[in-house]
Amino acid sequence: LAKTTQPISMDSYEGQEVNITCSHNNIATNDYITWYQQFPSQGPRFIIQGYKTKVTNEVASLFIPADRKSSTLSLPRVSLSDTAVYYCLVGEKNTPYGGATNKLIFGTGTLLAVQP
């Protein structure tokens, strides 16, 4: 599994767009990039997953450049309730015959603090 590097913390203000970048220089061909969000005293919550280019859902966008050595999670117009730890994870997607288990390998994440 490729190791990831994220900023330890970021600060933002309500209404701003926040971009959190994750480095994964050793990403393998079959690896996908997944982001999770965790609020204090709660379990993590899946945000988004992608392989290349851009993925968008109702919560966030994920930008992945052509070399895939990094990715950027973009949160539009954050609010106070977006204050949380954001984790970037990289790993091979399920391969029924390859023995993959899709266990999540969490790093230390990025603590996003949104100020009023």
Partner 1 sequence: NAGVMQNPRHLVRRRGQEARLRCSPMKGHSHVYWYRQLPEEGLKFMVYLQKENIIDESGMPKERFSAEFPKEGPSILRIQQVVRGDSAAYFCASSPNLSYEQYFGPGTRLTVT
Under the rule (CB under 8 A), what is the footprint of partner 1? 32, 34, 41-46, 49, 87, 89, 91, 93-94, 96, 100-109
Q: Which is nearer to partner 1, 7 or 107 (CB)?
A: 107
Closest separation in Å from C-beta 76 to partner 1: 21
Give the closest residue to 29 by CA, choosing from 2, 54, 4, 53: 2
User: 14 or 100, CB closer to partner 1?
Assistant: 100
Which residues, in sequence order, are CB contacts of 51 under 8 Å at separation 6+? 32, 33, 64
The distance of closest approach from Cβ of residue 79 to partner 1 in the complex, given in angstroms and rounded to an integer, is 22
Between residues 99 and 116, which has the closer beta carbon with respect to partner 1? 99
How many angstroms separate the CA atoms of 92 and 75, rounded? 25
Q: In angstroms, what is the minimal distance from the CB of 93 to partner 1?
A: 7
Please report how close the Cβ of residue 95 comes to partner 1 at its closest, in angstroms.
8
**Of residues 83, 33, 38, the one with CA closest to residue 61:** 33
How far apart CA 63 and CA 55 sit, in angstroms, is 7
